[in-house]
Amino acid sequence: MSEAGVATPNFSREQAVADIRRSTEDNIWLNAHRDALRAEFANMFVAVYDRKVVGVAEAVEDMKAAIRAKGIDPEKCVTEVLLTEDYIWVL
């Protein structure tokens, strides 16, 4: 237990940093290709891994199945819904 009372998980910090760096590049790639991807996959869930689209579906569970079918862990992907309309987020 940490000072915050959180059960500290067992994980490799080196692996976590490597995964985060890859996912950061995937996010930058997704941002750079957003318009083209949105034109191709309008209103769909899209997953990116290693700067490639590895899953496209109309629902989260279907997308996870498509990613797993490629031997990739869905939890390591950057995902978004590519809506055709731009919304203003009031968070």
Partner 1 sequence: MPRITLTVNKSHLELVGQVYSPKLTGGATVKFMIDTGSSVTILSLRDAEMMGIDGETLPRSPQKSVGYGGPMELRILENVMLVFAADDVKAKAIELRTVAVQYSPLKDKRVARMLYSVPTVLGTDALTAGEMTLWADWKLAQAHLDYID
Q: What Cα–Cα distance (Å) separates residue 1 from each residue in 4, 9, 24, 43, 85?
A: 8, 9, 29, 43, 45
Please tell me the count of residues contacting partner 1 according to CB under 8 A. 41
**Binding of partner 1 by 8 (CB under 8 A):** yes
Q: Which of residues 71-90 bind partner 1 (CB under 8 A)?
A: 74-81, 83, 87, 89-90
**3-state helix, strand and coil shares in percent for the chain, rounded to the nearest 5:** 45, 15, 40
Under the binding rule (CB under 8 A), the answer on residue 39 touching partner 1 is no
Q: Any contact of residue 50 with partner 1 (CB under 8 A)? A: no
Taking every pair of Cα atoms in the chain, the longest distance, rounded to a whole number of angstroms, is 48
Which residues face 45 on adjacent strands?
57, 81
List of residues contacting partner 1 (CB under 8 A):
2-9, 11, 13, 16-17, 19-21, 23-24, 26-28, 31, 43, 45, 58-61, 64, 74-81, 83, 87, 89-91
